[in-house]
Each structure stands twice: as structure tokens, then as C-alpha cells.
Amino acid sequence: MIYKLSKNADGFCPDVRRLLSQLDDADLYYQDYHLMHPADVFTSIFDEVVESGEQLAKKYLSFISNHRTSISNEHSVESLKTDISHFLFSLSNFIAGCRSIIKSLFKKDSKESNKVLREFNKTIKNYTDYVSKMINYVKHRHRIIRSFKATWEDKMIIGYYIEGVVQKGAIGPDPDIHKDSKCAISLNRDIPFHLGNVYFVSAALKTIVSKNFEDNKEISSSEDDTKIFKLLSMVSDIPRYYFPDEIKKKWIRVYAEDKDNKSVLIELDSKKKPDNFSPHILDINLSFKVGVRNRTLVPPYFYGVGKLKC
């Protein structure tokens, strides 16, 4: 599936926002749920994703640029973990907000509302399970986000993992979330992956809304989407370098075809190979903090080292 976004067409914001902006208060039940109008809910949750995504992508590209030119970075990549956390939480809030929008289309506790929500949740299940598990582990099981960098030549991958218990006394990438305790998540793959899925979830929401309300296309949203294009353009510049276990995974491509005329493609299942498809050596650099009882670290991608004891 490919989303073609253009300033000359419908802009860069998901179509559903325009559709939601047409809905009349008399046809909605959002006040019964103590919510804002669905168009305002969508705008707030989508803008939050854009703002946190832009902050993360901007810092990431700065790290990459400085590494290429051998300029010392002002901050450690560990400082990115706060931006990663904000981005992930904005995505969780986006999903929850879309569900609230669906509820506000129907009378409270109606069978139709429950039926439509089940349909929506089934459509987006694979993605929401992925996001929800990480957020739940961070919020309710007190896991920690750890960011780190992998370099070779003038190239860099910044990644992160959700730190959990690998075995008694040992911490590392939580095996409940990652493929195994040696794996992590590259921001190179993760940022485009989430943005592509935001558009996918938005399209699923639009399908629900369209079934219940007429789509009057001559009414357009007046919202400025300059920030959205800026984010998409920055994500397009992120190199397609992935960690070893990600090389053959499905990945999402965000590609700014024409930055001058503002045209972007989002390809949900790209067939192009990653740029580091051939095997190569990675130098891993990470910081960690040992606990009172957990005194051993199982680092990601240190296949020959094993465990570091402190």
C-alpha cells in the first residue's frame, strides 16, 4: 500500500481530519463522553505525533551529520531516550484518541459503538499490539528505555531497547518485547515505521467515519500542514541502515520525491533493500546503570562478548 501526499492535492494531513471537520454537532455524541469535537481531538493527537516526531528526527539527523563530519556531538545519544519516550507515548495517545473519536460517533454504551470499535481494533491490531506492549511495560512494569549508537566508517545507526530482566541478576533488551535479549530497535527503521502506521490507522478511522457520514469533498480543512511536510522531509533523509536482525524485516519507506513541489510517498511494504544489506562490523557504544541486585548486563549485538559483570 502506498500513500501519495502532495501540497497540490489534499495536503499532508490524513484525509480523515477533513472529513471529521464536516461533522455537525447535532449528529455527534462527544459531549456525552466529555470530549472535544472529533476534528479537534484528531488535530490535537496528530499534532502531538508530528511535534514529538520532528524533535526526535531533527536531533537524530544532527547526530548523523556530526558523525559524518567528525564534529563532536554536544550531547550523548543517551539523551535521545527522552525524545524516544515522548514519541512513543504520543503514538499511544494517538491510538487511544482515535478510539475515543469512534465512541463519540455513537450513543453511549450502544451496541453499534462496540461493534465498530471491534472492527477498528481488528484492522489495526498488529500495530497497536506492538506499541501498547512497549508503553505498558514502561508504565506499569517500570522498564527503562536505553538508547545507544552503532558506527562503522562514517556511518551511524542510533537504536534503543526496552531494558528488562533477561535472567536472574542480568538486565538487557527485554525478551518479552524484543526478538531476543541480543536485539534492539533502530530509529532508522522505527521512525518511518511509526509514521507510516499513523497514516494507516488514520485511513482505518476514515473508513469507519465514511460508513456513517457523507464525505463532502468540496469542504477542505484550513489547517496549515507545513510542519507535517517538514517532518516527512526529515524522515526521508534518514539513511536506510538497519540492525542485523532488521535487515530482512518488512519496513516502511518515507520518500520525499520532490521537496520543492512538496510531494511525498509513504510505502507501507517497501521492496527496496536496506543500504547496508551486506554484512559489516559495527562498533557499539552504550551507557547503562547497574541496579542494587542486577549487576550483569547483556548488551545488544555483542554476540562474542556475552555478559558484562559489574
pLDDT tens digits for range 291-304: 777 778 888 988 65
What is the 3-class SS of the chain, one letter each residue?
A: CEEEEECCCCECCCHHHHHHHCCCHHHCCHHHHCCCCHHHHHHHHHHHHHHHHHHHHHHHHHHHHHHHCCCCCCCCHHHHHHHHHHHHHHHHHHHHHHHHHHHCCCCCCCHHHHHHHHHHHHHCHHHHHHHHHHHHHHHHCCCEEEEEEEEECCEEEEEEEEEEEEECCEEEECCCCCCCCCCCEEHHHHHHHHHHHHHHHHHHHHHHHHHHCCCCCCCCCCCCCHHHHHHHHHHHCCCCCCCHHHCCCCCCEEEEEECCCCEEEEECCCCCCCCCCCCCCCEEEECCCCCCCCCEECCCCCCCCCCEEC
At residue 83, the pLDDT reads 96
pLDDT tens digits for range 104-154: 999 988 888 899 999 999 999 999 999 999 999 999 999 999 999 999 988
Cα-based torsion angle of the residue sequence 47, 94, 221, 208 in order, rounded to the nearest 10 degrees? 170
At residue 134, the pLDDT reads 95
At residue 216, the pLDDT reads 66
Report the C-alpha gap between 302 and 285 in whole angstroms: 11
Instruction: Say whether pLDDT at 308 is over 80.
Output: no
Overall pTM surpassing 0.85 (yes/no) = yes
Distances (CA, A) of 171 to 94, 131, 143, 182: 30, 21, 10, 11
The answer to whether 162 touches 137, Cβ cutoff 8 Å, is: yes
pLDDT tens digits for range 152-205: 988 999 999 999 988 888 899 999 999 888 899 999 999 999 999 999 999 999
Report the C-alpha gap between 107 and 206 in whole angstroms: 19
Q: What is the mean pLDDT of the chain?
A: 88
